[in-house]
Amino acid sequence: MTTLALAAPAAALTGQAGPEPVPNPGPSGTPTPNPSYSPPPGPQAAEPAPPAAETRRAARDGQALAQAEGAAFASSFEPGDPQPTWADTTETDARGVKKAANVIGTLPGRIEGSISDKIAQFSASGENASGGEGKENLADDDANTKWLVFAGTGWAQYGLSAPVAVVHYALTSANDSPERDPRDWQLQGSQDGQSWTTLDTRTGETFTARFQRKEYRFANPTAYAHYRLNVTRIGGGSTLQLAEWELSDGRTGPEPPSDMRSRIGAGPNGGFVSKPRAGFAGPRALQYAGGTTAQTGGHSTNKVFEVDIPVTATTELSYLVFPEFTAADLRYPSTYVSVDLAFRDGTYLSDLKAVDQHGVRLAPREQGESKTLYADQWNYKLARIGEVARGKRISRILVAYDSPAGPAGFRGWVDDIKIVSERKRQPYEGRPARDDRSPR
């Protein structure tokens, strides 16, 4: 029989009790950003998105494998999978009170009047996608990531969800190699992404430090649907890089409060051993993101799926999670996360002391403190929830965050959520090859 194996603790696959939590080696285990690896010019272009028919077929295959495992519910967030009932929506308790405090839906540190949430499309003259240095990094609210293109000139372009009159923007230098910084550029606007109007021109600009943000203001009464940064000269050499390119409509003052972000996206931009801009099982995953606003951190539980699933003695919950190493923050704020369940009787899985395959309680604060979640890679989690919730009915699938770190930004991804009623096959065990099957 041919099988597909996933690196996971043995207890997750054998049904035996898990070992004591393995300590996270900390900074040595999750490296701080290093200078870029820059292969010779002319790297391969970014891999195009798979055709829609291929994505749907992969989703059908994934559902078939999940059903073979005994899943009563499974979603990798692909077309053809169950889709979230809610996006960016906080759970409320039986009294109608939001299960959230001191958490907002944006990462800290944006310029005033930021329109980052209105960016719907990205394009560029080039990128180092295989190295995790793609164009999307320009608007990820994290100066520790960057866009890199193997040319002395280049452009990046944003398509907005609705036209906006931009009057203020900021550029942030990247982590290394000052000669790669932009020196001359134009900021341009367009209604159709084809015909461009130059709105601001800068020449001879310099960045005196790494991760330095420089802001620029100009007059512009016209709301454009597309904006382009066209870099015509760098400090030297033949490689252009930039950490952040932020746009603003000129508003001042604090942003209005918003719920923690929980929505489908294209997956993390990079990782140690994962494909960039993809989920674990396909092109999409569920993003959770935001920021804690208090010194003592914050918490939020968001609704994702509405379901009606009975819990038996053998029911299991499993999922994969990719906490990002945001802002090189060694408190690892993105790891304080878990998938939670709301039951019809008003109780929650996180209150029932269910444990994962490491023996760690399946609640966001305990998950982060256990150091069993590693940043910038996919982590598999499995819990036998029937041991604590037998006889209950699951009404909602949730994503929960609860961190003592603050103020701090966090962002990560959840994929491949499964609820298995009675396990018939081990997780991610592939179908037997046709030649290995017994004749019928």
**Could you tell me the fold of the domain covering 116-248?**
Jelly Rolls (2.60.120)
Q: Which residues on adjacent β-strands are paired with residue 320?
A: 380, 415
CATH superfamily of 48-106+258-420: Galactose-binding domain-like (2.60.120.260)
Closest CA to 285 of 434, 402, 151, 399: 399
Structure tokens at 321: 């999670």
**Strand pairing of 71-75 and 285-292?**
unpaired
**Which residues have a Cβ under 8 Å from the Cβ of 310 and sit 6 or more positions away?**
392, 393, 394, 421
Closest CA to 318 of 52, 66, 150: 66
Query: What residue spans define the domains of the chain?
Result: 48-106+258-420, 116-248
- The DSSP output letter for 236 is S
Q: DSSP strand E in 311-424: where?
A: 316-323, 337-343, 379-383, 393-403, 408-420
Q: pLDDT per position in the chain (440 positions), as tens? A: 333 334 343 333 334 444 444 333 333 333 333 444 334 334 444 456 667 777 777 778 888 888 888 999 999 999 989 999 999 999 998 899 999 999 999 999 999 999 999 999 999 999 998 888 999 999 999 999 999 999 999 999 999 999 999 999 999 999 999 999 999 999 999 999 999 999 999 999 999 999 999 999 999 999 999 999 999 999 999 999 999 999 999 999 888 889 999 999 999 988 888 888 899 989 999 999 999 999 999 999 999 999 999 999 999 999 999 999 999 999 999 999 999 999 999 999 999 999 999 999 999 999 999 999 999 999 999 999 999 999 999 999 999 999 999 999 999 999 999 999 999 988 877 655 544 444 44
Does 116-248 match 48-106+258-420 at the fold level?
A: yes
Q: Give per-residue burial for 347-364: e unless 16+ CB within 10 Å, then b.
A: ebbbebebbbbbebbbbb
